[in-house]
Amino acid sequence: MGRVGIRGFGGIWSATWACALWVCACLTLAGCNPGQREEAREQVRQSREWTPENIKKYPKEFALFVVRESEAAVGQYEAERLRIVQETARVKQMGDESRAKAEAGRSALTELKNLYRTADANSSWPVVWRDVPRDADWMRRNIVKLNAETKRAEEATSRTEAVLKKRAIQLEENRVATDKAYDVVEQMKLAQTEIETKGLTAQLEKRLAEIGAVVKELGGGTQASDLDNLDDLVVEKRAASDDASFESLMAQP
């Protein structure tokens, strides 16, 4: 952004063709001296970029170009914001689900461990849990299994919380960029009016150059590739705690 094709200059289209032919000839002739080569390069630059010289020559065209570029950036930022908001809602839902699963898992795990300890101490097998008789082998297997599932849910919750913090930062960056683009549009529309009424003053020329520098920064922001892969947040993702032994779990409160 900040660069424009030759057609963007409108009134210098035919002159550009002549310039291009001269440049090609100069760069290919064996007798072309360094001064001519440098002049040719400058001609190319002037025909392709909004240089200070071109802004001064074509202030109306430059103002129109900046307004269009800035409005396009606003559209990009607004679409980007919508995508981030939608992804944030999805991540929040995933976090709520994994948090609820972790809380239920911790509660059930405590209940199972207490039941096992009581039955093991009193040799009172089987025990009844959730209205179904459970033997010692079933209890051991499911204490280990439930612990692994609970740990996975806890880790998924932590990951979603980290992503939500990142999303909040992205939304703020998006807001700042959008406000900047809107500000450029308003400034340049005022400049267009001033050009029509007063012509290009020295003060306005300086302001156009400053706005042009800002325009070069527009159109960035958060890209889709910067957003996290939601597949990495699923509760079922394996955790290192899967291999926790029954004995080590029962040694914990």
Instruction: For residues 135 and 121, give the distance between their C-alpha atoms in angstroms, rounded to a whole number.
Output: 14
Token digits for 216?
């070069």
Backbone angles phi, psi at 49, to 5 degrees: -120, 155
- Alpha-carbon torsion angle 93, 98, 99, 105, nearest 10: 150
Instruction: For residues 99 and 78, give the distance between their C-alpha atoms in angstroms, rounded to a whole number.
Output: 31
Spatial contact of 115 and 127, defined as CB atoms under 8 Å apart? yes
> In which band, very low, low, confident or very high, does the pLDDT at 115 lie, cut at 50, 70 and 90?
very high
What pLDDT, on the 0 to 100 scale, is given for residue 31? 53
**How far from each other are the two terminal CA atoms of the chain, in whole angstroms?**
61
Spatial contact of 143 and 113, defined as CB atoms under 8 Å apart? yes
Spatial contact of 241 and 151, defined as CB atoms under 8 Å apart? yes
Token digits for 47?
């025909």
> In which band, very low, low, confident or very high, does the pLDDT at 217 lie, cut at 50, 70 and 90?
confident
- Alpha-carbon torsion angle 80, 81, 87, 91, nearest 10: 140
Per the model's pLDDT, the better-predicted residue between 13 and 183 turns out to be 183
Spatial contact of 33 and 26, defined as CB atoms under 8 Å apart? no
Three-class secondary structure of residue 5 per DSSP: coil
What pLDDT, on the 0 to 100 scale, is given for residue 250? 87
Token digits for 237?
């993702």
Per the model's pLDDT, the better-predicted residue between 115 and 235 turns out to be 115
What is the pLDDT averaged over residues 69-85?
Answer: 92
Three-class secondary structure of residue 16 per DSSP: helix
Q: Does 195 score more than 80 pLDDT?
A: yes
What pLDDT, on the 0 to 100 scale, is given for residue 51? 81
What is the pLDDT averaged over residues 74-79?
Answer: 93
Q: Does 188 score more than 70 pLDDT?
A: yes
> In which band, very low, low, confident or very high, does the pLDDT at 240 lie, cut at 50, 70 and 90?
very low
Q: Does 227 score more than 60 pLDDT?
A: no
**Highest mean predicted confidence (pLDDT) among 10-24, 81-95, 236-250:** 81-95
Least confident residue range of 29-38, 102-111, 136-145? 29-38
> In which band, very low, low, confident or very high, does the pLDDT at 50 lie, cut at 50, 70 and 90?
confident
Instruction: For residues 21 and 7, give the distance between their C-alpha atoms in angstroms, rounded to a whole number.
Output: 16
